[in-house]
Structure 1
Amino acid sequence: MAVTTTPVNSELVLVLDNGIGSSGQQLIRNRAYGDVKPEALDDNVYQVAQVILDLQDRTALAIHRQDTVELTNA
């Protein structure tokens, strides 16, 4: 049985430092940007993330790309 994957959607998620909580833990804020073309190159998505981060007051902790694929039995 062969399974085929078909890209459906992709999303850029910026993980940002949101300060320190009252009990001393680091607070994290996620900013999600949807409708990223699944065929977009990782380098291009990263460059867009860098431009967005230049506009942010918060420090970036991570840049994530979340891809959704459909699995079908071929």
Structure 2
Amino acid sequence: MAVQALPLFGTLVLRLSVGLTDDGKPIYRTRRWSGIKPTAANGDVYAVAEAFAGLQEHIMTAVEYQRNSELADDGE
């Protein structure tokens, strides 16, 4: 049985450093934007992440681009 992945949408996730704990460990928060076309180029998604990071109060430490797909049997 062959399975096909049908792209649905993507989610951009920014991880932001918002401070330190009393022990000196970093505290992170995430911001998510969903509904991104799954065909968007990685470079374009990263450019948008940088633009969004410039609007944030805290420093961006990581960018994730999560693609969601539906799995379906292709009938073979």
Shared topology, TM-score over 0.5?
A: yes
Q: Give the equivalent residue in structure 1 for 2:61.
A: 61
* Identical-pair percentage: 34
Distance 2:71 2:18 in 1: 36
Q: Give the equivalent residue in structure 2 for 1:33.
A: 33
Question: AA paired with 1:55?
Answer: L
Runs ≥4 residues deviating over 4 A: none
SS at match of 2:71: strand
**Structure 1 segments unaligned to the other structure (5+ residues):** none
**TM-score, normalization: structure 2?**
0.90
Q: Give the equivalent residue in structure 2 for 1:13.
A: 13
Distance 1:11 1:36 in 2: 6
**Structure 2 segments unaligned to the other structure (5+ residues):** none
**TM-score, normalization: structure 1?**
0.92
Distance 2:20 2:51 in 1: 25
Question: AA paired with 1:33?
Answer: W
Q: How many residues align?
A: 74
Distance 2:67 2:47 in 1: 17
Question: AA paired with 2:41?
Answer: L
